[in-house]
Structure 1
Amino acid sequence: MNVASVTGVTPVHDRLARFDRFGAAEGVSSLGGRTFLAGALAACAMVGGGRDGLAFGQSNAAPTAAESNLPTVSFAIPAGPLDQALKGYEAATGLKVKTGISGDKLAGFTTAGLTGTYPEAEGLRVLLVGTGLQYRLDGKTMVVGMQAREDVTVQADATMPLGQFTEALKDTPQSVTVVPQFIMKEQAITTLRDSLRNVPGISLAAGEAGAQGDNLTIRGFTARNDIFLDGIRDFGSYYRDSFNYEQVEVLEGPAGIEFGRGSTGGVINQESKRPLDHKLVSGAVQLGTNLTRRVTVDVNQPVGEIGGGGAAFRMNIMGDEANVAGRDVVENRRFGVAPSLSFGMGTKSRATLSYVHQGENDIPDYGIPWLLDGPSPAKRSAYYGFRHGNFINTHDDILTLRLDHDVNEHASFRSITRFANYPRNAQITEPQVCSNGAISPTTGLLLAPTNVLNSAQLCPYNNGAPSDPSTILVNRNQITVASVENDLWQQDEALLHFRFLNIAQAVVVGVEGGREMSNPTRFTFTGVPTATLLNPNEDLPFAGTKTLSTRTHLAADSAGLFFVDTVHLGRYIDLTGGIRYDYFYTQQRQYTASTQLNTFLYRIDKKPSYRAAFVVKPTASGSVYFDYGTSFNPSAEALSLSVSTTVLPPEENETYELGSKWGFLHDRLSLAAAIFQTTKNNAKETSPANSTITVLAGNQRVRGGQVSVTGRLANQFDFIAGYAYLNSEVIASQFYPNAIGAPLANVPKQTFNVWLNRALGLRFTGGLGGNYVASRSASSTIPYVATAWTGTTPANAVVTATRLKQVPGYWAFNGVVQRPITERISLQANINNILNRSFIDEPHPSHLVPGEGRNALFGLNYKF
């Protein structure tokens, strides 16, 4: 199966353990949906059993002395449901079998049966083969539970891993999708971007001038600043590797209460690996046809008891080099190390100190240029930069201390302190065929585009029809920045469970704050040689005169206080209400070289956010919910201010969502669906006639729905699928009236993902999946470009035809085949973009990044 998805049938902390296809337990921490790989329901033991759920740290391969003294018994237990088989085992042996698994969850397990004469302990072991469960002998009782091996995390309470959430996922009124670690391994995913292809409603975007890192939209609105690491904003502009992920969580819909500024369409949280209470060594080696060379190592070592509790050390290491199939010159080189140390494990007071370093040294890719309303006829492989002149260097360091204390079953506290430092140095070539030319503020349409090499003349087209493409020149715009961002942050939360007037309450009270800083120095270049559209020379020596543009120092001081209360009105109804108050003070000093002026700007925003929701639970297997929430986007959200934005109050957003989550066939089939509307009531717009004028005059809206389904059927047939429909539009605009009714930037009307997994025989397993992304437009303010005109210069040009500036939709298919060699070593082969489709993966208003061509990865996975 692909991803523990959905708008949430499964409780978020149902830690799903599976017995993998070569006999070793492998698991996943899952926020949403059922991950129904072979034996995935093993972890559901924790749902119905409350705190009776059991976990085992040792395999039962070698019987204990007590087990060896048990008598030999003749068994005749047929294949079928495990609950019936365990009753047969009790009748045959006289032993009692105890599980922490509720009856409806236990019904999801099956066994191959047991026939023949076995010692009683060995008989139970054989009966449990393939279920992911283990046993231990307690007097005359066989206690059945889960084996705690690699990647298996067991938590008795089915709650969100994020402290801001108190309820099981099926009772949480929000769409949630989770990509667990084992899915990333199965799909050979190495980056955050690729993991998000498993989430409906998300579309990827190309990097921007001020942010050369992960960029995307959630439900139609940019989420570049809504990426979190273990619940704290991960602001750095870098391309995130997945080597230290336990899982990736996407919360779509209102999230302003829990996460503060931004979060218009939702947020993304990266959940880090943490030390475990058992020894572990695992990793992988991968080689690819795109010259991938990747090694990962994951080592966990308990170090005994310190201060009355268990302690453990974990280290994750990654090295990665790869080209991009179908693209010339581009190279990605990353190194990462992530040590962590935990104390007090198994006690009421716990502490974890963790550090993550990721370094990157890439030859970056800003793809190919636009031509009129679509991608230029350039070859997919064409590289318009300079092999020896373009680079991205990042060296990110994140140090985190987390403290947890459980007072009793009614109260617990969490405190997180983080310091993060994100240095980066980049010089990137952005290919441009014609600028966006003169714009008429009265029509909001582009006039005939002008040649960036000679602004007095039109581009070399014949009334919109491209002339001989071999004669078209491409401007190599240099985007150059050297910057350091850093963050010092403190977050404290209290989780309270109590009864007031005999009504059960679950309350979260939190306070957080700190300082974020950004210090970019930007340069401009003149005299950079051009390229031809059809035959760019990437080996041409870089030439150009570098000039300082701006030097900026910005500091933002933030503080947020929030309160969320969930009231349980009996068995069937939950009511949730919350409020948050944010203080955001930004000050910026900037030196502009062209004017030799120093400017000082500042802005203070004080803004509340609200949330209200109710959940109706007609049965234990399903829920229906309604959710309302607000959020805001301050002018300095991205740690940048200008003279025009410093006087603007925040943009304001509100979201309505109606959804339902259900489990069928004893939760072997899960379905979730939601419809929603998000409105940005006062979007920022920059005047086309004067770029120094920005106003809050635009309104934008996205209406849509999404559905997710996961299932585990007969013959180890597991599947997951997700579909999202997004109807986005500009509903009001001061400067661009002709844009009203046009779709928002980088918002496909439809997205779809599917992944199927099945045993193939001879110990092989195989998976096949695909993604569909519909067409997307480049801009929400000026979505239309001139495609025909009369005249020879911008002054006398008259536009006679326009079209929407957009990229076409695409399908891409991927597959995997796996086979164990030994109990601890397996081989894996992945093929990505099986049909070698050529498509635009990441659009930007000024450039387009093609998707990677067909490539194969061959890996060896190991664990000890």
Structure 2
Amino acid sequence: MAHIRSRKHTHSSHLLALFAATLPAAAMAQETETSLPPMTVKAAADVPFKAEKSANSKLTQPLLDTPQTVQVIKKEVLQEQGATSLMEALRNTPGITMQLGENGNTSAGDTFQMRGFSTQTATFVDGIRDLGAVSRDVFNIEQIEVVKGPAGSDIGRGASSGYINLISKLPGLDSINTASVAVGTANKTRLSADFNQKVGETAAVRVNVMAQDGGVDGRDEVKNSGIAIAPAFALGLGTPTRFYFYSQHVRQNNTPDGGIPTIGVDGFVSTNAFLKNGGKVDRENYYGSKNDYEKVDADMVTAKFEHDLSNGATVRNITRYGITKMDRVMTGINTLAATSADPSTWTVARLRQRTDQENEIFANQTSLNAEFATGFVKHSLAAGVELMYERQKTRSFGTGAATINGVTYAAIANPVANLYNPDSSTTLGTPYATGAYVDGKTTTAAFYLFDTLKLSERWMINGGFRAEHYKTTTEGRTVVTANNLLLYPGYAVNDLAPDNLEVSDNLFSWKVGAVYKPAANGSIYAAYANSLTPPGGANFALSASSSSTSNPAFDPQETINMEIGTKWDLLDKRLNLALAVYRTENDKQVSYNAVDSTYSQFGKTRVEGVELSAVGQLTNFWQVSAGIAQMRTKALDNYSFSTTNGVTSSTGVRWSPDLTATLWTSYTLGDLTLGGGVRYVSEQKRLITGDSAAATNMPNIPSYWVTDLMAAYKLSKNTNLRLNVYNLFDEEYISTLNNSGARMTLGTPRSAMLSANFTF
């Protein structure tokens, strides 16, 4: 039963009042009175943090009866927290950790792992894959759905541990407009607005806009600036035939962050007698150049059609074209040098990197949802066809002196920086284009079918599959080096050799689950599913290297997931509790065989874990979103070889903490709302092999706690003020660490954001 927070009357209550007012007159006009039975009016349930169903048409049942871990992060949670990016939003679910990137100075946008596997290439918008190494904003997001466990039957290739599905804001028949103005520490400012206007009886337009500018707390020089607009219109709302046309356009102009050295942090290791006892650098130190930049242009256009058939079925078609361009020049840091005991003379090497990448996608999905019965069995069917074209082109750049393909390039000057007093005004050269590039394309044609069979009020069986044919083609040019010379016979070092590879195959993914309902408000389930990751499945960049998982000669990796769990809606369906126990095993990983000195697919990774969550209302005015996850990772028969360290064996998975927990809660006292949250992440291992040479710099990310607070006050019917304080106790912790352990980004220090929110 819902709990009405305001004293606004519904249309039903107005009609009842009008009807009651006419009763005395009617009684006088009639000789006999007619007694009406008592009436009870119940409003629809309104639990801001809790979702009843997924917006994904492939998940046909309420979340309570879906045999899989699915967490929905609603916009109300994001608004209370003042979250503006996808990475900030994902802090609301346990089992997800953020990364900094590869060794050197890569900065790869939204980079994260879920349940021990990389997930950034499994990010979707309205069920369509969203490509690009960019940082996503949530200004145009209705809710974020986190689906855990292998989901190859849902989305196709590469879903080793699940996927993230962002649900766009679409026009509705309610003419409600909102705007927000926010100012914060580090000179941050942000403006966002959501305008939704009814046009006629069945049409509406909606426009979401965002503009932001400012620095980054605890960092010199680093800045984030961007503007975005997302216009949309809809026809046929409230009718059997509906049409939506919407787009999103984002422009970012940022100063990227190359991180700071890890020297002096507890756990830091160095073979240099001076450095091993060195102090920490100032967290605000900026080791790049004032000329560093990151420019992102991201555009997508979508047309969506829905039609309700006379038998209760619904047919849908969604077509999208999207293109994202990212051009970035950034300075990272790596090797430290100290030749005396005087710290003022110590230096750190600066590495210049340029990334020029373009991602393109064209997708068309046609689907059918229907409910029907065969005998005593009730069916909820979802079937569809998906056609996709995906492309990623990445250009290569160099900094050293070289003659490539007959063209001579001068070395780019990269002077070292003073370790404790870097100078961002130092002139640094921009990496030159070598002429090398990787242009990868994948075309996919897929058919899927899911069916939930309701055998009785107690039992349901859920199953489905996805059959797809894909073709990946990589065209490019590679600079021949001493390390890859054998792969290019007939070419010499510094030649530009063609790199044309192709692979095509058929993939079949499936899932099956059983649900038992001991009560109407609870379920117990068991599920079994797989997913497949073919060579080049992440970025379409095939490789001829015998040790690369992107070698087209290799089979797709297969991930099997087993999960049992239970879900309960309590407190009159206001609070959901969920418990899941799972085991995931990824097979056919490329591993080195020391017997014959070859690479083959006999390696495995096993992840086992338990997750518990609670989302909803404890009372009419007390909201909560909480989760805790325990995870254990193990690498099996996972070997690699290098000329420096010989054969090494992996024992686990990087950046996979044993325990993560998150809590956000708020309580409303009249016009005042108070809230806060805590996040905990246990130790994250970087060093997962016996490689002694890797036992330098930081071997892991230490565990940490972070506490945030929020206070909001309703000034009037249409105006609300909110203050968010982040990292209340100013905890200093490593947020992300690169693969060598040489550089890190620290978590946000104590900071604040004041927002004024308007409804009109």
- 1:858 maps onto 2:744 in alignment: no
Asked if structure 2 preserves the Cα contact closer than 8 Å seen for 1:825 and 1:861, the reply is yes
1:14-53 CA-to-partner distances (Å, cap 9, x unmatched) read xx98766xx499xxxxxxxxxxxxxxxxxxxxxxxxxxxx
Partner SS for 1:384? coil
Match of 1:446 in 2: none
Q: Does 1:431 align with 2:333?
A: yes
Cα displacement (A) at 1:398: 0.6
Given the superposition, is the C-alpha separation of residues 545 and 202 from structure 1 closer, same or farther in structure 2, using an over 3 Å criterion? Answer: closer
- Structure 1 position 748 matched with structure 2 position 657: yes
1:629 aligns with 2:534: no
Shift of the alpha carbon at 1:271? 0.7
Structure 2 matches for 1:359-370, cutoff 5 A?
359-370=251-262
Match in the other structure for 1:422: 324
Correspondence for 2:160 among 257, 264, 269: 264
CA shift for structure 1 position 862: 0.3
Could you say which residue in structure 2 is the equivalent of 1:338? 230
User: Is 2:712–2:720's contact at 8 Å kept on the other side of the alignment?
Assistant: yes
Distance 1:786 1:240, change over 3 A: closer
Q: Find 2:349's aligned residue among 475, 479, 487.
A: 475
Alignment correspondent of 1:796: none
Structure 1, residues 248-299: CA drift from partner, whole Å, max 9, x if none? 1101113111111111111101111110102121110000012111011111
Which blocks of at least 5 consecutive residues in structure 2 are unaligned?
A: 26-34, 270-278, 400-411, 480-493, 546-550
Equivalent position SS for 2:538: coil
Partner residue in 1 for 2:82: 188
SS at match of 2:500: strand
Shift of 1:784: 5.7
Asked whether the equivalents of residues 605 and 650 of structure 1 are also in contact (C-alpha less than 8 Å), the reply is no
SS in 2 for 1:213: coil
Q: Is 1:398–1:418's contact at 8 Å kept on the other side of the alignment?
A: yes
Label 1:67 to 1:327 Cα distance change in 2 as closer, same or farther (>3 A): farther
**1:277-292 map, 5 Å:** 277-292=173-188
1:662 to 555, 558, 568: 568
| One-letter code aligned to 2:39 | V
Shift of 1:859: 0.8
Q: Aligned-pair distance for 1:221?
A: 0.4
Indicate the residue corresponding to 1:413 in structure 2.
315
Task: Determine if the alignment matches structure 1 residue 233 to structure 2 residue 133.
Answer: no
- 1:316, 1:337 within 8 Å by CA — same for their partners in 2? yes
Which of 597, 603, 615 is 2:497 aligned to? 597
Q: Deviations over 1:703-725 (max 9, x none)?
A: 11010123534573333321001
Q: Give runs of aligned pairs for residues 306-317 of structure 1, distance below 5 A.
A: 310-317=202-209
Task: After superposing the two structures, state which structure 1 stretch, 836-845 or 373-382, moved more.
Answer: 373-382
SS of 2:89's equivalent in the other structure is helix
Deviations 1:309-332 (A, max 9, x none): x11000000001121111111100
Task: Indicate yes or no: 2:210 matched with 1:318.
Answer: yes
Displacement after TM superposition at 1:728 (Å):
1.0
1:161 partnered with 2:55: yes
**In structure 1, distance between residues paired with 2:759 and 2:751:** 26
The corresponding residue for 2:622 is 717
2:666 aligned partner: 757
1:682-733 Cα distance to aligned partner (Å, 9 max, x none): 2245899xxx996534211111101012353457333332100110121221
Contact 2:263 2:697 in 1 (8 A): no
The yes-or-no answer on 1:251 pairing with 2:147 is yes
Please report the RMSD computed on the Cα atoms of aligned residues, expressed in angstroms.
Answer: 3.1
Q: Secondary structure at the match of 1:835?
A: coil
Q: Secondary structure at the match of 2:90?
A: helix
3-state SS in 2 of match to 1:295: strand
1:352 and 1:545 map into 2 onto residues whose CA distance is 44
Task: Please say if 1:393 is aligned against 2:295.
Answer: yes
Task: Decide which of 287, 302, 315 is 1:384's aligned counterpart.
Answer: 287
Q: Is the 8 A contact 1:374 1:807 kept in 2?
A: no
Give the SS at the match of 2:287. coil
Task: Find the aligned partners of 1:569 and 1:407 in 2 and give their Cα distance.
Answer: 25
Contact 2:218 2:284 in 1 (8 A): yes
Cα distance change of structure 1 residues 803 and 217 upon mapping to structure 2, 3 Å threshold: same
- Mapped to 1, the partners of 2:330 and 2:50 lie a distance apart of 46
Looking at structure 1, the residues matched to 694 and 359 of structure 2 have their Cα atoms a distance apart, in angstroms, of: 40
Q: Counterparts of 2:23 and 2:222 in 1: how far apart (Å)?
A: 64
1:833 is aligned to 727
Q: Measure the CA separation in 1 of the matches of 2:477 and 2:416.
A: 30
Asked if the contact 2:50/2:615 (under 8 Å) is kept, the reply is no
Q: Rate the CA distance shift 1:67–1:254 in 2: closer, same or farther, 3 A.
A: farther
Residue 783 of structure 1 deviates from its aligned partner by: 6.9
Which residue of structure 2 aligns with residue 671 of structure 1?
577
Q: Which residue of 2 aligns with 1:554?
A: 440
Which aligned pairs between 1:72-111 and structure 2 lie closer than 5 A? 96-99=38-41
Query: Displacement, 1:161?
Result: 1.2
**How many Å separate the matches in 1 of 2:702 and 2:427?**
34
Bigger shift: residues 208-217 or 617-626: 208-217
CA distance in 2, matches of 1:677, 1:153: 28
Contact 1:410 1:497 in 2 (8 A): yes
Residues 755 and 18 (structure 1), Cα distance of their counterparts in 2 relative to 1, 3 Å cut: farther
Given that residues 842 and 848 in structure 1 are in contact (C-alpha distance below 8 angstroms), is that contact kept between their aligned partners in structure 2? yes
CA-to-aligned-CA distance 1:354-383 (integer Å, 9 cap, x gap) = 100111110011312355974993322222
Change (3 A) 1:693 1:410: farther
> Are the aligned partners of 1:176 and 1:252 in contact in 2 as well (CA < 8 Å)?
yes
Structure 1: 5+ residue stretches without partners: 1-15, 26-54, 73-92, 102-132, 134-144, 435-458, 788-801
The 8 Å contact of residues 586 and 604 in structure 1, kept in 2 or not, is answered as yes
How far did 1:602 drift?
Answer: 1.1
- Per mean C-alpha deviation after superposition, the further-off stretch among 716-725 and 815-824 is 716-725
Distance of 1:759 and 1:248 partners within structure 2: 24
Q: TM-score, length-normalised on structure 1?
A: 0.76
The 1-side partners of 2:120 and 2:147 are apart by 14
Q: 2:112 aligns with which of 212, 216, 222?
A: 216
